[in-house]
Structure 1
Amino acid sequence: MKLDGVKVLDLSLFLPGPMLTLMMADHGADVIKIEPVGEGEPSRHIGLSTNGQTVWFRNTHRGKRSVQLDLKSAQGQAAFWTLAKEADVLVEAFRPGVVDRLGVGYEAVKAVNPGIVYCSISAFGQTGPYRDRPAHDLAVEALAGLVALNEGQDGKPAMPGLMAADALASLTALSGVLMALYRRTQTGLGDHLDVAMLDSLMAWTPNATGPVFAQDRANVPKAERSWGGAAMFNLYECRDGRWIVLGGSEVKFAAALLEALGRSDLLDHARQPPGPGQEPLRVFFRETFITRTQAEWEAWFEGRDICFAPVRTLKEAFADPAVAARGMIWRDAAGNAVVGTPLLFRQEPGRPDPKAPGLDEHAGQVWRTLS
């Protein structure tokens, strides 16, 4: 597999770091999860469980090895340094300054292992005025302006449906780690990667920054393309209380839809910029889609070249045969559902290991290997 032979120490907790190292483990990396003494990784105890493990933990730690270490003790420190000297990658997600106080910061590790790729993930980065501010995903999304963009039809911000700050920080970190590993093949030297959740969110706003950069004003979400200003990029309620979306605002899709509905006379509204000029078209769609059930509209749209989708629950999404066909859901030996890997290589495909480790399960194995 692509990452065979790469050794990773994962000191991170919760979601961004563990997802980064999960993707590496799926493609051959040997990931040793360094868990705090006591209850270990917090996600072992958060949310629903099946067969003695939480779904969250199983889907972020399968295929890894678990070792508990107390980095404040002499014994824990000695064990850490034994591992760090042979590692290729180290991932940590403490608040800035914590690893230095523990004596395991980048400079200390680099001194004994110059090739280490040391990845620090935090809410606001290792520098800057927010450096020491505590935050999880929601607070970071709020400070990034994204919660305000997630405005409901009542004009009030709504809770985000995805931990976007966690997700984008994880993917940013994965990209940086792989870049640093590639560069190391040329220089022999590692690097320190400083990934901030806030930075990772801000980097993904090009489609939203028009009003900010061009007109020095705040967004008006319901008047803009991505959040309801475009009739062909919008949510519509059906007769049974369920919803559908139109998800492509290109004029060709509007022309195909309006012709099929017998209202080509409304096409000029689809050519208007997002906002009030498209309101007559939005009204027509609201009045039209409320006349049939979601299932009836699914059948009606079948075979038509129009961007359409039913609004599903997550349960319905994972039950879709298309998701299974892409390998995005499978079962471990005990029958537990496990999310697959989205990285599909033709050569050397990933081979995700469905088994998640017990707490400190691999301590003996790891120490025997290093002795």
Structure 2
Amino acid sequence: MKLEDLRVVDLSVFLPGPYLTMTLADHGARVLKIEPPGGDPGREIGPRVDGETVFFRNTNRGKESLVIDLKDPVGRERLLKLCDEADVVVETFRPGVVRRLGVDYETVSARNPGIVYCSISAFGQDGPYRDRPAHDLAVEALGGAISINEGQDGTPAIPGIPAADMLSSLQALSGVLMALLRRERTGRGDYLDMSMHDAVLAAYPNVVGPVFAHGRDPVPKHERSMGGSAFYRIYATADGRHIVLGGQEAKFVRNLLSALERPDLAVLCEAGPGPHQAPAITFLSETFVRRSQAEWVEWFAGRDICFAPVKRISEAFDDPHAQHRGMVLGGGATRQIGPAIKFRHEPARPRLSVPRLAAEAAEGNEVGA
């Protein structure tokens, strides 16, 4: 496999770091998960099946576990020896902690100049917020994401996806792979300072227009991709469920409004987002609420319109398309989320085993063995 010779020392906990290193493991890397006495907190978060939480299983499959107390000099030296033979180190401590523990990039790279060392933190290794404690929600709030995640009543809500966690994890994955490519050419590793806050701000290409162009904040209910367009919006159906229209191109607008015998409303929708689209929004709201979600799914079938039913998560994973794409691994209560990176010639081969806490470091279990 692509990464079968890659050796990774994983010092991370919770979500961003473990998801990154699990992705590497899915594609062949050998990942040694270094856990503190007591283990990764993810082992205790959420529902548990067969002794492991679903959360931990879906962020740590295919790894090997080793408990090391980094506050103990013997443990610290043991970790440094592992890093001597490793290609990648990933850590998610608060800034300054790895330096105090004596396992920071400077120490590791002095012994192993080829190491790619990735630190993921809430706000990065420098700046005014460097030492501020935060998880996903607080980072999204400070990054502005919560302010635009609001309903038509103008009240912000907690996003259903941990955007700061996942965006920073995927950005860090990209950075690690770029650094490894550079190392192939130069022989030198590198240090990645990945900030969850940076990752949120970097995710605004289609949102920041009003801010940069006009010096004003987006008004979600009037903006193109947040509900200010009749054709980019959530609508209720007769059975208390919902559907969405998710494409504002003229052809989609005219296809739907013509089918509903209101082509006169197309001109409003083609004039850009904003309050002037209210008549179209009202018409579509009154139309969609007359039938059930299932009836609208049937009605839209075969029509060239960006439409989708709002599915529950259980429905999304049971969907035939998700099954076909391999996004569900295993069966029953121990199912896992499949890898999203799809290679044609050398696809991922995720190992569904989950590392036991305090697994004995038997001879040959070290990363460099």
Q: Report TM bin, short chain.
A: over 0.9
Structure 1's unaligned 5+ residue stretches are none
**Percent sequence identity over aligned pairs:** 57
Contact 1:239 1:289 in 2 (8 A): yes
Aligned CA distance change for structure 1 residues 213 and 335 (closer, same or farther; 3 Å): closer
Out of 342, 345, 348, which is 1:344 matched to? 342
1:6, 1:193 → 2: CA distance? 18
1:136 paired residue number? 135
> Which secondary structure does the structure 2 equivalent of 1:245 belong to?
strand
Contact 1:228 1:234 in 2 (8 A): yes
1:205, 1:365 → 2: CA distance? 49
1:31 to 2:31 alignment: yes
Aligned CA distance change for structure 1 residues 202 and 369 (closer, same or farther; 3 Å): closer
AA aligned to 1:156 is T
Displacement of 1:79 in angstroms is 1.4
Aligned CA distance change for structure 1 residues 370 and 226 (closer, same or farther; 3 Å): closer
2:333, 2:160 → 1: CA distance? 27
Displacement of 1:370 in angstroms is 5.2
Displacement of 1:217 in angstroms is 1.1
2:165, 2:364 → 1: CA distance? 29
AA aligned to 1:28 is G
The residue correspondences of 1:140-289 to structure 2 (distance < 5 A) are 140-289=139-288
Contact 2:34 2:67 in 1 (8 A): yes
AA aligned to 1:70 is D
1:344, 1:365 → 2: CA distance? 35
Structure 2's unaligned 5+ residue stretches are none
> Which secondary structure does the structure 2 equivalent of 1:341 belong to?
coil
Displacement of 1:362 in angstroms is 5.1
Contact 2:85 2:367 in 1 (8 A): no
AA aligned to 2:250 is V
* Root mean square deviation, CA, Å: 1.2
1:79 paired residue number? 78
2:292, 2:145 → 1: CA distance? 32
Displacement of 1:366 in angstroms is 4.7
1:365, 1:16 → 2: CA distance? 30
AA aligned to 2:29 is A
Query: How many aligned residue pairs are there?
Result: 369
1:286, 1:263 → 2: CA distance? 13
1:5, 1:35 → 2: CA distance? 22
Contact 2:32 2:65 in 1 (8 A): yes
AA aligned to 1:364 is A
AA aligned to 1:73 is D
> Which secondary structure does the structure 1 equivalent of 2:296 belong to?
helix
Contact 1:61 1:356 in 2 (8 A): yes
Displacement of 1:336 in angstroms is 1.3
1:46 to 2:64 alignment: no
> Which secondary structure does the structure 1 equivalent of 2:178 belong to?
helix
Contact 2:86 2:368 in 1 (8 A): no
Displacement of 1:102 in angstroms is 0.1
Could you give the per-residue CA deviations for residues 183-242 of structure 1, whole angstroms, max 9, x where no partner exists?
001110100000000001111101111111111111111000111001000000001110
Contact 2:63 2:354 in 1 (8 A): yes
Displacement of 1:163 in angstroms is 0.4
1:81, 1:128 → 2: CA distance? 28
2:362, 2:116 → 1: CA distance? 26
Contact 1:65 1:362 in 2 (8 A): no
> Which secondary structure does the structure 2 equivalent of 1:195 belong to?
strand
Aligned CA distance change for structure 1 residues 36 and 369 (closer, same or farther; 3 Å): closer
Could you give the per-residue CA deviations for residues 21-66 of structure 1, whole angstroms, max 9, x where no partner exists?
01100000000000001x2010101100111110000010000000
Displacement of 1:81 in angstroms is 1.6
1:110 paired residue number? 109
1:16, 1:279 → 2: CA distance? 41
Could you give the per-residue CA deviations for residues 307-332 of structure 1, whole angstroms, max 9, x where no partner exists?
10111110110010110100000216
Contact 1:115 1:190 in 2 (8 A): yes
Displacement of 1:80 in angstroms is 0.5
2:289 paired residue number? 290
1:6 paired residue number? 6
TM-score (norm 2): 0.98
1:316 paired residue number? 315
Contact 1:239 1:290 in 2 (8 A): yes
> Which secondary structure does the structure 2 equivalent of 1:347 belong to?
coil
Aligned CA distance change for structure 1 residues 233 and 366 (closer, same or farther; 3 Å): farther
AA aligned to 2:320 is P
The residue correspondences of 1:353-364 to structure 2 (distance < 5 A) are 353-361=351-359, 363-364=361-362
1:297, 1:362 → 2: CA distance? 56
1:367, 1:230 → 2: CA distance? 57
Displacement of 1:281 in angstroms is 0.5
AA aligned to 1:177 is V
Could you give the per-residue CA deviations for residues 316-356 of structure 1, whole angstroms, max 9, x where no partner exists?
10010110100000216x86111110111111111000111
Contact 1:118 1:191 in 2 (8 A): yes
2:20 paired residue number? 20
2:323, 2:363 → 1: CA distance? 34
